[in-house]
Amino acid sequence: MRDVLFPRGGRRRLLLAACCLAAGAALPGWVRADDDALALLAGSDRVRNLPGSFSVQIALTEFRHGKQTGSSVLTVYSRPAPDSGQYNNLVRFVAPARDAGKLMLRRGLDLWFHDPASGASVRISPQQRLLGQASNGDVMSTNLARDYRAELLGRESLRDGEGQPREAARLRLTALRDDVPYPLADYWIEPGSHHPLMARYHSAEGRLLKTAYFRKYREVLGVLRPTETVIIDGLDPDWVTLMQLSRHTAREVPEAWLQRDYLPRFSGE
């Protein structure tokens, strides 16, 4: 199973890339000020997210020491919130069978979990783990440029999630609100394409929580977008979560679906 995640020594290359980035490179000509950092981050948001409202299926697979230990399948429905520039999200659990039909709703600053068996809707946190290293906030569509202050630290060479050498701009992201999943993050984006390549997520005290590699770029609705994220625990590199995106569909997500009071009546597509 390790070879599926990290073919031909890719796992070793990813770990080396996380530890051995060529820091301190001189600022290239396209770097001018922190507004460039925000523009890079906003560009990466447009790469990750489809325009308008859409749905996407997400498969999560957890591995420990190369062996699969858990899996989950979700469908995420996302609709732009015109008042904030952010997204409202409805997440429907598809698998495993014991979770099928459960829902999560994020609207504005509120995040709710609904269990149809009990009929109850309770508040939850975006920082709460969903499966392995994937948190509730990781599976929901979001514009990072709306959640973080971005500072451009410079240019660095690294190996991407496919093990290929790349030049990237390194951004330091600082959360603007307490409800953002990660207080601090370092984020590597390829200039020009605005492809996000790698991220390190930190606690407020600076402790490394996890490292993510964005890879398997495929053409989706005319744009190359990452369809897979490899998430590695900050303390245990043998604890890995694979997040795979598929069935990207541009569609109208009804506003009614994105209301807490509607959750007990939601019946799917």
Q: What is the pLDDT of residue 106?
A: 96
CA distance 167 to 192: 11
Q: What is the helix, strand, coil percentage profile of the chain, to 5?
A: 20, 50, 30
Domain locations in the chain as residue ranges: 2-265
CA distance 244 to 216: 9
Tell me if residue 4 falls in helix, strand or coil.
Answer: helix
Q: What is the pLDDT of residue 20?
A: 43
Each as own residue / partner, the long-range contacts of residues 104-113 (CB below 8 Å, 24 or more positions apart, any chain) are: 104/136, 104/140, 105/258, 105/260, 105/263, 106/140, 107/81, 107/258, 107/259, 107/260, 108/81, 108/84, 109/177, 109/179, 110/260, 111/136, 111/179, 112/260, 112/263
CA distance 221 to 140: 19
Domain 2-265, CATH homologous superfamily name and number:
Lipoprotein localisation LolA/LolB/LppX (2.50.20.10)
Tell me if residue 90 falls in helix, strand or coil.
Answer: strand
Question: Running DSSP on this structure, what letter comes out for residue 25?
Answer: B
Each as own residue / partner, the long-range contacts of residues 210-213 (CB below 8 Å, 24 or more positions apart, any chain) are: 210/133, 210/234, 211/18, 213/14, 213/160, 213/161
The residue with tokens 């299926």 is 57
* Mean pLDDT, the chain cut into blocks of 10 residues (269 residues total): 51 49 42 73 97 97 97 98 92 97 94 94 92 93 96 95 95 93 96 97 96 97 97 96 98 96 89
Q: What is the pLDDT of residue 120?
A: 92
Burial (CB < 10 A; 0-12, 13-18, 19+), residue 53, is buried
Residues 6+ apart with CB under 8 A from 98: none
Q: What is the pLDDT of residue 4?
A: 45
Each as own residue / partner, the long-range contacts of residues 216-220 (CB below 8 Å, 24 or more positions apart, any chain) are: 216/161, 216/162, 216/244, 220/50, 220/248
Q: What is the pLDDT of residue 35?
A: 61
